Amino acid sequence: MKMSETNTRTRLIKTAARLFREKGFHGTGIAEILLKSETPKGSLYHHFPAGKADLAKAAASWASEGMLEIIDAAFDDASDFRDGATTLCFKLAKFFDTAQEWQSCPVSSVLFDGPGNEEFRDFAGQIFTDWADRVSQHASRLGIESDSAEPAAETLLLAIQGGWTMARAKRSSDVLRRIPSLLYG
């Protein structure tokens, strides 16, 4: 792939991810994505042959990679699982405060508002599984017994997902910062 093709593809993905977060899948049109990304229509179908559906999956994957990086950054230097979980919640709270356009979870806003087909739900399910697996790996590395690592990861991610929604409703990232004390005392 040529450098300009990579830049065009990346620009389409980032623009679509932002618009899907702000307006949802159905509220975002292809024309708007093309306009905001300054991309000709032919480039969209060159990079994403199935059009908006392929682009939505690429945008969700891009956002998921960012979340995996945040998870790793939070847990890499943690002294224990609680420390990593606390750092993760605080990083997400800071992100909530600084990135005003992040109005909803980047994965659910794209995939659950998407075409409503099984493929999209399975794709979203795999992304959430990848996040839980990554947190679970960190939990095991930090001393959580293997049979408790997966439930610990899922509990944390469920709290974060719900916390993000509540933080949006209350317009306050403090909800995210409170998660560790609510979960771990």
Q: Is 81 domain-assigned?
A: yes
Q: Which residue has the higher pLDDT, 53 or 99?
A: 53
First to last CA, the chain: 51
Q: Is 177 domain-assigned?
A: yes
Domain with 143 in it:
56-184
Question: Tell me, what CATH number does 178's domain have?
Answer: 1.10.357.10
pLDDT of 57 > 50? The answer is yes
Give the per-residue pLDDT at 118.
78
Average pLDDT over residues 61-85: 96
Q: Is 43 domain-assigned?
A: no
Least confident segment among 43-47, 121-125, 174-178: 121-125
Query: What total of structural domains would you count in the chain?
Result: 1
pLDDT of 89 > 90? The answer is yes
| pLDDT level of residue 3 (50, 70, 90 thresholds) | very low
Q: Is 62 domain-assigned?
A: yes
Contacts of 95 (CB under 8 A, 6+ apart): 70, 102
| Residue 59 to residue 57: CA distance in whole angstroms | 5
pLDDT (tens digit per residue) in 14-43? 999 888 888 888 888 999 999 999 999 889
Average pLDDT over residues 146-171: 93
Q: Which of 2, 142, 113, 127 lies closest to 58, judged by CA?
A: 127
| Residue 11 to residue 30: CA distance in whole angstroms | 14
Give the per-residue pLDDT at 24.
81
